[in-house]
Amino acid sequence: LDLWVYCLLKRIDAYLKQSITQPISGDTIEGGEEYTVEWVERGEDVTLSDIGQSHVYLYAGNDSDSMVPLTQLGTVDATEKEFNTTIDPEIGQNGTYYTIRVVSDNLQSQKPEMAQYDYPYIAYSDIFELTGMTGTFNETLLNATGAEKANNDGDSDSDNEDDSDSDNNGESGGDKNNNNNNSNGDNGDNGDEDDDSSASKSKAFAAMGATILGAAVYLL
């Protein structure tokens, strides 16, 4: 078993090119506050110059297999080794559900099983916590994260339940659906905003190619 683990880690190490060093597991980021994502170069076959111009995304989920794209945070050249961003508090709710992904615009993944589908290089951060968030997850994100719907309006949930019980014509439910749709629209790439983000998602959904090793997450 020890030999198998050693060989596996050696095989993984051959693919390590870029390591996101901030944020890592256990880190907390405050929504609405400026934050700097940082990474370093690893390996010799591919350089940060090769990775080049990239898009940066925020995802949410319970694990690497359940991640759902929330929004595009911006673009960066990988050679800069950092990216400054301010996460919109309305994009989600408090919790340890989030990860940042840096997707190369031009470089393909070096893993054969990913390259055959023209998947790009993607760097994954560990899952980290966001606080100070004022939004709520839609049904898709609640399922992906395993979270309970946030109550950011104090007694609003109980008030809505009372209204729903007393309103037999379904208007309360309609209002809720409209609110959810408006919330998704405000969040940009969330929910039904596939028209603006479909091209981005085609790259970002190469999430399955991630390799997570220890406290850092590496680009494949």
Can you give the pLDDT at residue 2?
A: 42
How far is it, in rounded angstroms, from Cα 98 to Cα 92?
A: 10
Can you give the pLDDT at residue 37?
A: 98
Q: CATH fold of 14-136+188-218, please?
A: Immunoglobulin-like (2.60.40)
How far is it, in rounded angstroms, from Cα 55 to Cα 11?
A: 27
Domain ranges of the chain: 14-136+188-218
Can you give the pLDDT at residue 148?
A: 95
Can you give the pLDDT at residue 155?
A: 40
Q: Which segments of the chain have a pLDDT < 70?
A: 1-17, 44, 153-220
The model's pTM is: 0.65
What does the DSSP assignment read for 152-216?
-STTHHHHHHHHHHH-TTSHHHHHHHHHHHHHHHHTSSSTTTHHHHHHHHHHHTGGGG-EEETTE
Phi-psi region of 52 (alpha: psi -120 to 50; beta: other; left: phi over 0): left
Can you give the pLDDT at residue 17?
A: 61
